[in-house]
Structure 1
């Protein structure tokens, strides 16, 4: 398996993986899966902002994808990113999520990011929580009943991990 930068040609597989999450799970709070054109637009927007957008590929098949995005839009949050990791249902449990998250952490540190947030759409998503905790994320909060999907209220778990020097020193640009 190889982790590499996503390309426009990966969008069909990325769209299919995400559509399965939208339809069948609560890892995202979208109700309708976006089409390929929208997924390309989202990927290009994140990449143009300097965020890593990665795929895990084996034997020519995209098995998962991951990216970071801005945690919040205000300038003071610019050194904090949020990660998103999605793995095809038939490829779970094979270390793909771990490989993608490791690569995101490394890429984000190289970009000078200082904190990474994980927002898990349901405390019952033990696999995602365990994955993040294995990489040094700590649970910071559980926000009860803030999302509605598939006929039920969902709690959301926030996890956080420092990157590089974390908040121990001033950022590179000094502001």
Structure 2
């Protein structure tokens, strides 16, 4: 039996569990280009930085266990870019492929629309078929592909960019 899911804004108290989820991807995949584990204090600061930019950072709980998170950051710092953001979504690997990512991303997109943003951009390290499917299911279209833009685990990694116009 699956417990009901709740989506709510992240707080600094979520930082440790978010690190547990994220550090798995750092250590075992090229999905994140970070190479060192993130400490809870660093993650709490990232959550605060997103909030101070008036952007959403959401977490999903199943019962009382945090199983995933999604957030948006500014796309670029110049003023003319203020209506574009970049999105990220991460799930506990045990909960991937069960629809949680879709629900979490839909909630993030709804929050972004309320902020009257125009464009959301998802950067996806390649290959990552699951993330590509998720983005395209939500209406994103591929707009760019950078070859060998990152080096992790001794191999070059491409990154594709997908975008969704919010309004």
Q: What range describes the TM-score normalised by the shorter chain of this pair?
A: over 0.9
Instruction: Using the TM superposition, give the Cα deviation of residue 2 of structure 1 relative to its aligned residue in structure 2, in angstroms.
Output: 1.1
Pairing of 1:5-154 with structure 2 (within 5 A): 5-122=9-126, 124-154=127-157
- Mapped partners of 2:33, 2:76: distance in 1: 17
Task: Give 1:59 deviation, angstroms.
Answer: 1.1
Q: How many residues align?
A: 163
Q: What secondary structure, in the 3-state scheme, does the structure 2 residue paired with 1:141 have?
A: strand
1:69 is displaced (CA, Å) by 0.2
Q: TM-score, normalised by structure 2?
A: 0.96
Question: Once the two structures are superposed, what CA deviation does each residue of 1:137-166 show, in whole Å capped at 9, x if it has no partner?
Answer: 0001111001000110000000010002xx
State the 1:94 CA deviation: 1.4
CA distance in 2, matches of 1:74, 1:100: 28
Residues in 2 aligned to 1:69 and 1:41: alpha-carbon distance in whole angstroms? 13
Whole-angstrom CA distance in 2 between matches of 1:2 and 1:101: 13
Aligned counterpart for 1:155 among listed residues 148, 155, 158? 158
Shift of 1:87: 0.3
CA RMSD of aligned residues (A): 0.7
Q: Aligned-pair distance for 1:3?
A: 1.0
Please give the alpha-carbon distance, in whole angstroms, between the structure 1 residues aligned to 2:162 and 2:141. Answer: 5
Question: Which runs of 5 or more residues in structure 2 are unaligned?
Answer: none
Asked whether the 8 Å contact 2:11–2:44 carries over to 1, the reply is no
> Runs (4+) of structure 1 moved beyond 2 Å?
none
